[in-house]
Each structure stands twice: as structure tokens, then as C-alpha cells.
Amino acid sequence: MARIVKRAYKYRFYPTPEQADELARTFGCVRYIYNKALQERTRAYTQQGRRVSYVETSAMLTAWKKTPELAFLGEVSSVPLQQALRHLQAGFANFFAKRAKYPTFKSRKKSRASAEYTRSAFRWRDGQLTLAKMNAPLNIRWSRPLPEGAQPSTVTASRDSAGRWFVSILVEEAIRPLDPADNRVGVDAGITALVTLSTGEKVTNPTHERADRRTLARAQRALARKAKGSNNRAKARIKVARVYARIADRRRDHLHKVTTRLVRENQVIAVEDLTVRTMVRNRSLARAISDAAWRELRSMLEYKCAWYGREMVAVDRWFPSSKLCSACGTLQQSMPLSIRSWTCACGVAHDRDINAAKNILAAGLAER
């Protein structure tokens, strides 16, 4: 039976100069409102011990628009501004529920420039998308079609640090679960091999960051030589951002291919519950771990398994998958990272990563 899920389709688009100006103003107003509301909520919480609700911040926004110094807020669509307040409310809800840290201010240079539009602030007609305050539809590159009959519920326009424009369209889609599969697999995440499977297969890590390291270093040196505040420095910064964007795009594409294949071929997928945030503190491995993107790999497996009727099992991070013999169950006293293969007392020779993947699969099946 098909499941109804909310799914976002992301496309690149090319705005006209007028559309680019309108979106840039909207991005700035969204960031300003978010920061100003956060400042007011922080002041009330620290000085008065009082929690400010979304309704109160919405009333503040109405009052701010009526002041001469903030009249510019009325020049952009009000929906993205309200959505910024809702996102801030969600941030505080997660903080008070101890699911996240205290909300932080958005930076013009570091924060993602984006604006979210709900149904009242865009028009979807004949396959064309027109945002509020715009007279013409966006020039979108439809790299893949939306589901037939899909009606967007939310649209998010954004611009990345490389100057590329994107629109993310959220729709409800009926996804039919895949036919049941007989295969089960254990997945051991690594650096030399991106993942090692309990079947003995190793998926090579493309090391996208390492492949473009020389190009990135050259662009960064050129940026460092430019005078701060100059137009040449702004151009050089975009060149650096484009290299980073290329690395991220290639990495994400490879992860999608690997995770989609694992989900299609296996009914149960067992993985380690790794704490990537702690592991990247190791200066020797931080760069390689970040390039492997284990956290993104895990996230993709989670939502794809949920979509397509597969089961993902996370094995406890302290489980000694590398030190345990998958044949007889003997636990080795130590297993330094430098040891890539070893022979157990029972006579079975092990590849470190394949043995770990087999143990992860066994532990995952035992925890179901």
C-alpha cells in the first residue's frame, strides 16, 4: 500500500535582475526579523524570566512595520517574515525540550540566504511558479518532473555562497513500498572504503575533497591576496565557494547512488550508531571523516528506508565490531587502527572491515 509522504524537490533557477533584487531584499528582511525577534525573546527570558510566544512576536512584527525606520519591511511579502518567526518558535521549542541548543543569530555572511513561501504567497499554474511581489514566473530548470498532479504546499527560495539560486518545492507524494527482499546487510563506514558490506564488498571512497584540494588551495591563496572590501576579493570569494559547491554536489550525488542501491537490494540494513561530532575532534582524521560524510549517509538511509518499507537498525556505538571474531565470537584485547587484517585463534583470517560489517549485521538482527 502506498504511503503519503512530504517530499521536497529542489531545482536551480535563473532569476531576472528584478526578481534577484526582490529576493535579496526578502532574504535580508527575513534575517533581520529573525534576529530582532530572537533579541526580544532573549531579553524577556533573561531579564524577566518570561517566555515569549509566537503570537506575541507576530504582534511585534505588525508594530515594527508601522515605525518609520522599519517601514521597509512592508515592501516584501509578509509570509516569509511570518515563517521566520515560526522557525524561531520551533527553535525555542526544541531548546526547552532539550533537543537542541539555544537559538543563535543569523549572520549575513555565514547563514543560508533563504525565504519560505506558503500557498498564499505563490501561484502554481500550468507548471509555472510565481512568487509573491513578482510579475513573472521563475525560470526554473526542471531537471526532473514533479509527481503527476502534485500541488506544492511550501516553496523555499535560496541562494548559496557560490551565487547559485535554488527553489525547493514541497509536495505530498504517494510512494509505494518496494517488494520485500531476502537480503540483509551490515554496513561498516570507513575512510579508505566509504562503506564495507557484510557480503565482502567494499565501496571505494571517492574522496571528492582530496581530488579538488589543489584547486581549492589555489583559489584560497588568490582570495587571501585580495584587499578586504574590494570587488576583486568578492569575485575571488565566489570562486572559492564554487569549488566547495562542486565538492558538495559530487559527494551528495555519490551518497544518493550508494544509499539508493542499498535500500533497493536489502530488506534490513544494520549500521553503527557513530558519534561523528566527537570523532571529528581527532585532528588526524577530521578532514577525512568530514569528506566521507557519514552523518549524511546515515540520514539518507533512514528516510529512504522509511519511504520504501525497509528496516534500518542502529547498533550501539560501543559494540566491539572490529575486535570480535565473526566466526567464533572471541573478543580480542586490542585492535589498533593500523591492523587491517588479522587471524583469530580459531584459525579464521579476517579483513578488519569485512569482519566488522558481519558483526554489525549479527548485532543488528539480534536487536530487532
CA–CA distances in Å: residue 127 to residues 118, 138, 154, 306: 17, 11, 15, 29
Per the residue annotation, which of 116, 173, 209, 272 is the catalytic one?
272
Task: Give the C-alpha separation, 152 to 129, whole Å.
Answer: 10
- What size, in residues, is the chain? 368
In this structure, are residues 303 and 256 in contact, taking their beta carbons and an 8 Å threshold?
Answer: no
Q: Reply yes or no on whether 253 is catalytic.
A: no
The label of the residue with cell 549575513 reads 108
Angle at 53 between CA 52 and CA 55, to 5 degrees: 130
Amino acid identity, residue 328? C
Q: Which three cell numbers stand for residue 238?
A: 565566489
Q: Reply yes or no on whether 272 is catalytic.
A: yes
CA–CA distances in Å: residue 206 to residues 180, 245, 255, 292, 293: 31, 16, 10, 8, 11
Sheet holding 154-159, edge to edge: 113-118, 154-159, 165-175, 3-13, 140-141
Q: Reply yes or no on whether 188 is catalytic.
A: yes
Per the residue annotation, which of 188, 253, 265, 273 is the catalytic one?
188
Per the residue annotation, which of 22, 173, 209, 353 is the catalytic one?
353
Task: Give the C-alpha separation, 138 to 256, whole Å.
Answer: 27
**Residue 210 CA neighbour count, 13 Å, CB half:** 12
Catalytic residues: 188, 272, 353
